[in-house]
Amino acid sequence: METKKKRPRVVVGLSGGVDSAVSVIKLQEAGYDVEGMFMRNWDSSINNDILGNPHTNDSICPQEIDYMDAVKTAEELGIKLTRIDFVEEYWQRVFSYFLDEYRANRTPNPDILCNKEIKFKAFLDKAMEMGFDYIAMGHYARVVHEPEIQLLRGLDRNKDQSYFLCQLTKEQLSKALFPIGEMTKPEVRALAKKYNLSIAEKKDSTGVCFIGERNFKQFLENYLPAKKGKIMTLDGEVVGEHDGIMYYTIGQRKGLGLGGAGNAWFVLGKDAEKNILLVGRGENQEYLFSNWAIVSKINWIGPEFVGELCCLAKFRYRGIDNKVVIKWLDKDKMEVRYEEKAKAVTPGQEAVFYDGERLLGGGTIDEVYMNEEKRRY
């Protein structure tokens, strides 16, 4: 008698949004044995107690609303939903680093670290412990398992989220599925409507990973008291006062409190020692541009190479593809050269490397130069 083949078990990170819900549908249609898991990673009262500052302006986290939406989705799709807490892991592995980077006057990308340490580590470890074969997320990206592990851009270039997955290892990717990677956003919403899901028209989340949408500067002030200082031009003219240089990023236009006739003001750099924010008028100020950078903490999942490699690089999520030449300086550090100058390449942000559709790796931007002049970013 022929035994029936066991269906692979997959647990979906069910966030309460439409992308993860449709991921469940796609897996069910493909014949997987599917369950859901809701990750609770932020708790204002707990995190404030850890900080030793229980009385802050921090508002109630919207995660409870997302959880109720996840419960409703699980009911509608007939799957089991487990709720699990990674509050301590998120604080120690993600948020503490996030704060340290801001203290160093760098602009970090917490979503990348969140994917590396929470969604594809803490969550993955728990899933394997529970006996699942794979985890699945509602990211717009694609993974190829055979004949070798490859991470590809999502088919919908407007929604592609491969940038945020650049720190995942081949081992992590070997256990990951991205069911909507071949879909466009309109197709995702259409499928959700076809299945009469109550969250079919739910607005996409745009806030920091698991913290949600809020006034970000006010939120940071709860954790990082800052010192006011001068806003100056590169020529030394004082034009205003800033609330703390850690709150500003290179190329920023809004929130400077500067007006007057002429072109808009933009953040050009920072003088951390003197607590000065450097600004200039016009979005194409020469000081905003660079032509090479040092990138460290490299996670490389592409083919190995020696010498130089020509490829593409994104220096921020919504940035354009830049033609670059890269070479290793150390086991986890690269020099990145780009003949066509790039704008607002910012320390603390991620440089992510591609060969066409394939993601090769990524790392943190450390230093930025124009020819031999180091930018005061």
3-state secondary structure at position 193 = helix
Alpha carbon distance 88, 90 (integer Å): 5
Q: Which of 189, 216, 243 is the last residue of a domain?
A: 216
The single residue of 61, 166, 209, 311 carrying the catalytic annotation is 209
Residue type, 44: S
pLDDT at 52 over 50: no
pLDDT at site 104: 83
Q: Which two tokens stand for residue 259?
A: 């007006």
Q: What is the CATH number of the domain that holds 193?
A: 3.40.50.620
Alpha carbon distance 110, 95 (integer Å): 7
The residue among 61 and 122 whose pLDDT is bigger is 122
Q: Which of 173, 192, 216 is the last residue of a domain?
A: 216
Asked, for residue 291, whether it belongs to a domain, the answer is yes
Residues 277-301: pLDDT tens digits?
Answer: 999 999 999 999 999 999 999 999 9
pLDDT at 3 over 60: no
Asked, for residue 198, whether it belongs to a domain, the answer is yes
**Residue 209 a catalytic site member:** yes
Annotate 1-38 with b (16+ C-beta within 10 A) or e (fewer). eeeeeeeeebbbbbbbbbbbbbbbbbbbeeebebbbbb
One domain for residues 38 and 118: yes
One domain for residues 239 and 153: no
One domain for residues 172 and 297: no
Asked, for residue 334, whether it belongs to a domain, the answer is yes
β 276-281/229-233 pair status: parallel
The partner residues of 307 in beta bridges, in order of sequence, read none
Specify burial of residue 177 (Cβ count, 10 A radius: 0-12, 13-18, 19+): buried
CA 190 to each of CA 18, 29, 267, 288: distance values in angstroms, whole numbers, following the listed order: 10, 15, 41, 42
pLDDT at 117 over 80: yes
One domain for residues 253 and 326: no
Tokens 């943190």 identify what position? 364
Annotate 138-176 with b (16+ C-beta within 10 A) or e (fewer). bbbbbbeeeeebbbbbbbbeebbbbbbbbbbeeebbebb
* Angle, CA of 123, 124 and 130, to the nearest 5°: 90
Asked, for residue 368, whether it belongs to a domain, the answer is yes
Residue type, 127: A
Q: Which of 166, 195, 216 is the last residue of a domain?
A: 216
pLDDT at site 261: 81
One domain for residues 117 and 53: yes
CA 71 to each of CA 35, 65, 304, 317: distance values in angstroms, whole numbers, following the listed order: 12, 10, 44, 31
What pTM value is reported for the model? 0.89
The single residue of 61, 114, 166, 311 carrying the catalytic annotation is 114
pLDDT at 181 over 70: yes
β 134-136/9-13 pair status: parallel
One domain for residues 64 and 176: yes
Please give the radius of gyration of the chain, using alpha carbons only, rounded to the nearest integer: 22
Q: What is the CATH number of the domain that holds 310?
A: 2.40.30.10
Residues 259-276: pLDDT tens digits?
Answer: 888 899 999 999 989 999
pLDDT at 222 over 50: yes
One domain for residues 255 and 309: no
Residue type, 19: D
Looking at the structure of the chain, the number of domains it has is 3
Asked, for residue 3, whether it belongs to a domain, the answer is no
Alpha carbon distance 280, 184 (integer Å): 39
Alpha carbon distance 63, 287 (integer Å): 41
β 350-355/308-314 pair status: antiparallel
Domain encompassing residue 159? 9-216
> What is the secondary structure of 202-268 as a DSSP string?
PPPP-SBTTTBSS-HHHHHHTT-----EEEEETT--EEEEES-GGG--TT--TTS----SSSPEEEE
